Structure 1
Amino acid sequence: MKVKKVPMRMCLGCQEMKPKKELIRVVRSPEGEINIDFTGKKAGRGAYICKDAACLEKAIKAKRFDRALEVKISDEIYLRLREELDNE
């Protein structure tokens, strides 16, 4: 029986490769809309972050989401990400 490969993605905060299922995906849709994608299946360009508040703050400070998604990210998205991490 063949062993299935685990997809790996890089966290924008700590810059470590981790399994895709352990990360939160922020996606820019083809229309340019920014959303948090919990399923990991939405169409568009994605950027990943650990479920760790320190990683999120590092990524925000260095404007890594803006660069990864090639668009300015609103404070509302950052606020929703912080709330999501607080709920974990």
Structure 2
Amino acid sequence: MYMKKKPQRTCIGCNAQKDKNDFVRIVKSKEGNITIDKTGKASGRGAYICHNVDCFNKAKKSKKIEKVFETQLTEDIYNELEEMFKE
């Protein structure tokens, strides 16, 4: 019996590879809005982070989120994302 492969993704904070469902997806839409994609299906450029604040802080400190999306992020966006990770 053929088993379907589960998509693997890499965390931009700690570089851990896990199943797609084990991550939080951050998306930059065509309009330039950066949000957390809870469905995993939003259109736009996506980046994956483990669902803990430590990985988010590593990605923030090394500016990996900015590098992935090729844009400068304001402190307001970082604060909004951090609040969502604390939930």
Tell me the equivalent position of 2:9.
Answer: 9
**Quick check: 23-32 or 75-84, which moved more?**
75-84
Q: Report SS of the residue matched to 2:35.
A: strand
Q: How many residues align?
A: 87
Q: In 1, Cα distance between the equivalents of 2:78 and 2:24? A: 12
Superposed CA deviations along residues 40-71 of structure 1, whole A, max 9, x for unmatched, are 10110001110111111110000000001111
Percentage of pairs with the same residue: 44
Give the TM-score of the pair, scaled to structure 2: 0.89
Tell me the equivalent position of 1:70.
Answer: 70
How far has the Cα of 1:80 moved from its partner?
A: 2.6
State whether structure 2 residue 28 is matched by structure 1 residue 28.
yes
Q: Report SS of the residue matched to 2:39.
A: coil
Tell me the equivalent position of 1:59.
Answer: 59
Q: Structure 1: where are the runs of 5+ without partners?
A: none
> Could you tell me which amino acid in structure 2 is paired with residue 17 of structure 1?
Q
Q: Structure 2: where are the runs of 5+ without partners?
A: none
Tell me the equivalent position of 2:47.
Answer: 47
Tell me the equivalent position of 2:37.
Answer: 37
Q: In 2, Cα distance between the equivalents of 1:37 and 1:6? A: 19
**Quick check: 36-45 or 73-82, which moved more?**
73-82
